[in-house]
Structure 1
Amino acid sequence: MKPPATSHVISLCMDDGAQVEAMFAGDPKAHFDLHWHAEWSVGAILEGRCEFTCAGERQVAEAGDLVLMAPCMLHTAGVSAQGFRMVMLYVPHAWVAAQLGWPVAQRGELRRGVWKDDFTARALAQAALSEDGGEVGRLLAQVLRAQTGDALVAVERQMADARVEAVCQALATEDACRIDPGALAQRLGVSREHFHRLFRVAVGMTPAHYARLARIGRAKVLLREGQTAAEVAVQCGFTDQAHFSRWFRRCFGVTPGNYRAVRQRPERAE
């Protein structure tokens, strides 16, 4: 069984009731803009080649490779011209922490972000395609246990400058679109130009770009809660629903409407 040639998302229920999202991507023109996920990202490359950046480093994953990214790691993704098929699973950190015995606000350091394991990659993809939540959970626990170390670090990104950290917290709120950059600079006690330089050094992007990504992340949460795409677009400060839909798809590969439909789908009868 192969993933279809267009991107789509399904929701799987593991044996303990925890939900994991699975995105199937097979579009040779697929490209995902810089973004992050609040969840762990565990991917299996089935065909072709995926070139991406994660935490500022260029990475390449090919058929038979597994990919692992921790929550809040900034990344992009693109694919090679010869074709591409991938399954990416988004796993709640609370579930991972419970499986591996971590405090909920911490995680183990990654050992590897990309490695060859054709057997596990295909097994994980097959379990996701079959919507076998129990087997998906077993394989995810196996992968995460093998590729995370004993040393613990904070789950959330830690900024060296506490002032920038405070600004990031403000930008992550639902009214981030209404915060004026000049007001943020004033809050830090610096000029607007110095604020932009300070923020770029600490975060790696402009405040405006960070605010958009924070709003997209919040939008995902609101869609999960059952709000419509139109309601979410207004709450998260996008110009209109079309503008919101374009950015959501550029980051997550599907439209807000399709994503919400998956989250609202009733569970299959056994």
Structure 2
Amino acid sequence: MASHVIGLPMDGGAQVEAMFSADPKARFELHWHAEWSVGAILEGRCEFTCGGERQVAQTGDLVVMAPFALHTAGVSPQGFRMVMLYVPHAWVAARFGWPEDRRGVLHRGVWQDRAKADALGDAALSQDGEQVGRLLEQILRAQSGRELMAVERRMGDARVEAVCNALELEDACRIDPGALAQRLGVSREHFHRLFRMAVGMTPAHYARLARIGRAKVLLREGRAQADVAAQCGFTDQAHFSRWFRRCFGVTPGNYMAERQRVTRAA
């Protein structure tokens, strides 16, 4: 299997998701994760953007992205292997003594540490949750500053933030820009400029990403795939499955199967 996700039980009842990818054709659309993303490039090269900045990670590099960081990714056409772990912020905050709505500012997002990258890959592959936890704490502690900031991005405009909250429940295919502009009390053209300045993307794109993220949470809760697709505003299951895989590397069905396996094992 080119990409697959497994769950790793951690201390304190937390669970980290580990995605293994060896697909040289893998491309990930613009998306975010509510968790910390901590990865190791085990072979090959990965080019990606995070927060609008282009980054390159190669064999032996570690990669860290904060919760809700917007990013894309594409890998080298040659041999490629990586592991990416999605770490609940509550688990990180508890270890570092942060309030749950705050996090440390990252020093670096990509750096070379072949020994630690290999160790992280080996621990994840062997499903050694205890060792994975130790390595994650070391990696995040090394790159997190004392200065704290909000976990979620602040829009800077309460009106835009209210629209963003509403878009999480709406179908991007049915968005009426005029109606959204009316909610803000501005013209359609001004609304689009205001939204793009505050959020960095169009309202339709934001809505799709917000619904994909919400769908992942519902799948974790054990909801049926068809129900999740309908509740999150996708045209049908095929439409939902395509976008889920473009963002998270696996189909909703494979994601649910692994979650169920981990639940039974626990």
Give TM class, smaller chain. Answer: over 0.9
Matched residue of 2:11: which SS?
coil
Q: Offset at 1:200?
A: 1.2
Tell me what 2:161 maps to: 165
Does 2:156 align with 1:152?
Answer: no
Residues 244 and 268 of structure 1: CA distance in aligned 2, closer, same or farther (over 3 Å) = closer
- Paired residues, what number? 265
Letter in 2 for 1:221: V
Q: Is the 8 A contact 1:170 1:176 kept in 2?
A: no
Higher normalized helix content (fraction of residues): 2
Could you say if the C-alpha distance between residues 213 and 93 of structure 1 is closer, same or farther in structure 2, counting changes exceeding 3 Å?
A: same
Cα displacement string for residues 23-70 of structure 1 (whole angstroms, at most 9, x for unaligned residues): 001100000000000000000000000000000000000000000000
Is 1:111–1:149's contact at 8 Å kept on the other side of the alignment?
yes
Superimposed CA distance per residue, residues 60-100 of structure 1 (whole angstroms, 9 cap, x where no aligned partner): 00000000000000000001112210000000000000011
Normalising by structure 2, we get a TM-score of 0.96
Amino acid at match of 1:114: V
- Is 1:27 the counterpart of 2:23 in the alignment? yes
- Structure 2 residue runs of 5 or longer lacking an equivalent are none
- Map 1:55-74; keep pairs closer than 5 Å: 55-74=51-70
Q: Distance in 2 between matches of 1:217 and 1:15?
A: 25
Determine if the alignment matches structure 1 residue 45 to structure 2 residue 41.
yes
CA deviation vs aligned residue, 1:161-184 (integer Å, no higher than 9, x gap): 222122112222x34556533222
1:14 matched to 2:10: yes
In structure 1, C-alpha distance between the alignment counterparts of 2:110 and 2:218, rounded to whole Å: 31
1:212-227 alignment, distance < 5 Å: 212-227=208-223
Shift of 1:269: 6.0
Q: What per-residue deviation string (whole Å, max 9, x for no partner) do you get for residues 137-191 of structure 1?
A: 111011111110000000001112222122112222x345565332221010011
Residue 238 of structure 1 pairs with residue 239 of structure 2: no
One-letter code aligned to 1:75: H
TM-superposed deviation, 1:228: 1.4
The CA RMSD over aligned residues, in Å, is 1.5
Residue matched to 2:194: 198
2:88 to 92, 95, 106: 92
Question: What are structure 1's unaligned runs of at least 5 residues?
Answer: none
Give the partner amino acid of 1:54. Answer: C
Partners of 1:180 and 1:225 lie apart in 2 by: 31
> Separation in 2 of the partners of 1:83 and 1:198?
43
The 1-side partners of 2:221 and 2:248 are apart by 17
Decide whether the 8 Å contact of 1:175 with 1:235 is kept in 2: no
Match for residue 132 of structure 1?
Answer: 128
Q: 1:268 to 1:229 in 2, by over 3 A?
A: closer
Contact residue 36 and residue 64 of structure 2 kept, 8 A: yes
- In structure 2, C-alpha distance between the alignment counterparts of 1:152 and 1:139, rounded to whole Å: 22
d(CA) in 1 for partners of 2:221 and 2:264? 20
Give the structure-1-normalised TM-score.
0.95
